[in-house]
Amino acid sequence: MGLRHSDHINDPPIVPVTFVMEDPHSLTGKDQPEVTVNAPLGAHLLEVALEAGINIEHACGGVCACSTCHIYVERGMDQISESTEAEEDRVEEAPGLQRNSRLSCQCDVRGKGPIVVRIPAWNRNAVKELPH
């Protein structure tokens, strides 16, 4: 049976998101430094990354209670949801804070893209070094 014309009429629009990884091996187990995926509108960048096999740390499970999912938005800041006061307070705890720092679990894909995100090498290393 073939696809009916209406099968995808309610699918959310697709937005291109590129992840640039400073340490791709620790995030994906591979050495490919850049991955571009098609994200559904409304998804947050953490879940888009995880779906693509990019294991961004997310110690609190994506509820804005840690800063381990810290990323840099290099392109398309106006294509994602604005940061809230809670996110701004939390992201200040992240190492390597920059003007384009965001918490990936708090960034919903809103526009048409493209969106380019950099995942710093310490994304995983910082967590490994936390005392237990």
Question: Does 105 help bind ligand FES (rule: CB under 6 A)?
Answer: yes
Question: Does 28 help bind ligand FES (rule: CB under 6 A)?
Answer: no
DSSP annotation string for 18-46: EEEESSHHHHHSS---EEEEEEETT-BHH
Q: How far is the CB of 94 from ligand FES (least distance, A)?
A: 9
Question: Does 69 help bind ligand FES (rule: CB under 6 A)?
Answer: yes
Question: Does 14 help bind ligand FES (rule: CB under 6 A)?
Answer: no
Q: Which is nearer to ligand FES, 3 or 123 (by Cβ)?
A: 123
Question: Does 73 help bind ligand FES (rule: CB under 6 A)?
Answer: no
Distances in Å between the Cα of 11 and the Cα atoms of 6, 52, 104 are 10, 19, 23
Return the exposure string of 28-39: e unless at least 16 CB atoms fall within 10 Å of the residue's CB, then b: beeeeeebebeb
Question: Does 50 help bind ligand FES (rule: CB under 6 A)?
Answer: no
Size of the site for ligand FES (CB under 6 A): 12
Closest CA to 15 of 40, 32, 34: 40
Structure token pair of residue 13: 């629009």
- Which positions touch ligand FES (CB under 6 A)? 58-60, 62, 64-66, 68-69, 90, 103, 105
